């Protein structure tokens, strides 16, 4: 809540922002009626990791604000991810890093505390097309759809299974940490659909997590899907809408989606 308030105050005072939506706010918050942008954000992703001094971060996306909108009108935020003008995250780890895209590649910057600015440390990041790493919360396996269960079972079978190679599993329990690793060295990250609550088809929120990370991933040559469609083409129906997420190295995402397509064809 403290992180949310700090970010909300700074965006409101900037003059550039017409309204914000936050994972920690029930409704949108009006800022400057003359502002040109809408900002959606998860103020502290992986917040439970603060207790164990592990990775946490801030995720954000930026859209143009429609001229007709009132600052507190939530319908203005219901735009597909293809309309984003910028997205990124700040990772608070051994060093503070900003990963950003404005639609011209994905770039990583590192905070230089000597002058308080972010320096470009890795430009035009490219995610490897192939990988032998995946990140998923295995404790939910029994709740997944059969396609995802089959896919992960084949990964775990290693070089004796149909995929013909061994895989390692990594799980930070903060999306910013897992996605940062994928951008740096490839991999697949998934928080798939499960059957526990039909009203919540996924754990991650479209506007605050899935869309901005999908933009970064695609601009780095990766893929991002809900299992049924490209994440950035999903039309939001609610500012807190949840979606399944599968993203990362393009060839591995394609392989995972192949299991889903095969399951749909057999229905």
Question: pLDDT tens across 168-200, in order?
Answer: 999 998 999 999 999 999 999 999 998 888 777
145 in a labelled binding site: no
Q: Could you give the residue ranges of the DSSP H alpha helices within 110-219?
A: 146-156, 175-185, 211-219
pLDDT at 68 over 90: no
pLDDT at 267 over 80: no
Task: Report yes or no: 206 and 242 within 8 Å, Cβ to Cβ.
Answer: yes
CA dist list (Å): 193 to 3, 151, 216: 29, 14, 22
44 in a labelled binding site: yes
Q: Which tokens is 48 given?
A: 């439970």
CATH of 2-122, one of 3.40.640.10, 3.60.20.30, 3.30.540.10, 3.40.1500.10: 3.30.540.10
Spatial CB neighbours of 243, under 8 Å, sequence gap ≥ 6: 201, 202, 204, 205, 206, 210, 226, 231, 234
Cβ burial 221-246 (10 Å sphere, 16+ → b, else e): bbbbbbbeeebbebebeebbbbbbbb
Mean of pLDDT values over 5-13:
96
**pTM of this prediction?**
0.96
45 in a labelled binding site: yes
Averaged pLDDT of the chain: 95
209 in a labelled binding site: yes
178 in a labelled binding site: no
Q: Where are the domains of the chain?
A: 2-122, 133-265
User: Could you write out the three-class secondary structure of 76-138?
Assistant: HHCCCHHHCCEEEEEEECCCEEEEEECCCCEEEEEEECCCCEEEEEECCCCCCCCCCEEECCH
154 in a labelled binding site: no
228 in a labelled binding site: no
Q: What is the CATH number of domain 133-265?
A: 3.40.190.80
137 in a labelled binding site: yes
23 in a labelled binding site: yes
Task: Report yes or no: 137 and 194 within 8 Å, Cβ to Cβ.
Answer: no
Q: Rounded CA gap, 235 and 255, in Å?
A: 25
């Amino acid at each position: 809540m403290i992180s949310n308030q700090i970010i909300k105050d700074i965006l409101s005072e900037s003059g550039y922002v017409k309204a914000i939506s936050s994972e920690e706010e029930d409704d949108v918050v009006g800022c400057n009626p003359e502002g040109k942008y809408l900002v959606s954000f998860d103020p502290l992703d992986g917040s439970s990791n603060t207790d164990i001094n592990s990775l946490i971060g801030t995720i954000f996306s930026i859209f143009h604000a429609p001229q007709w909108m009132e600052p507190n009108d939530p319908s203005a935020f219901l735009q597909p991810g293809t309309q984003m003008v910028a997205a990124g995250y700040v990772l608070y780890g051994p060093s503070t890093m900003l990963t950003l895209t404005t639609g011209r590649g994905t770039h990583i910057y590192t905070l230089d505390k000597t002058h308080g600015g972010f320096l470009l440390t890795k430009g035009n990041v490219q995610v490897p097309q192939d990988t032998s790493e995946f990140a998923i919360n295995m404790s939910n396996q029994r709740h997944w759809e059969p396609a995802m269960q089959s896919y992960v079972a084949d990964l775990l079978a290693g070089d004796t299974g149909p995929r013909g190679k061994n895989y390692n599993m990594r799980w930070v329990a903060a999306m910013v940490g897992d996605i940062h690793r994928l951008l740096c060295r490839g991999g697949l990250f998934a928080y798939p659909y499960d059957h526990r609550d039909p009203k919540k088809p996924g754990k991650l929120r479209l506007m605050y997590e899935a869309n901005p990370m999908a933009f970064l991933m695609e601009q780095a040559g990766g893929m991002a899907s809900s299992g049924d469609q490209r994440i950035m083409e999903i039309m939001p129906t609610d500012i807190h809408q949840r979606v399944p997420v599968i993203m990362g190295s393009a060839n591995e995402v394609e392989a995972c989606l192949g299991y889903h397509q095969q399951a749909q064809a057999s229905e």
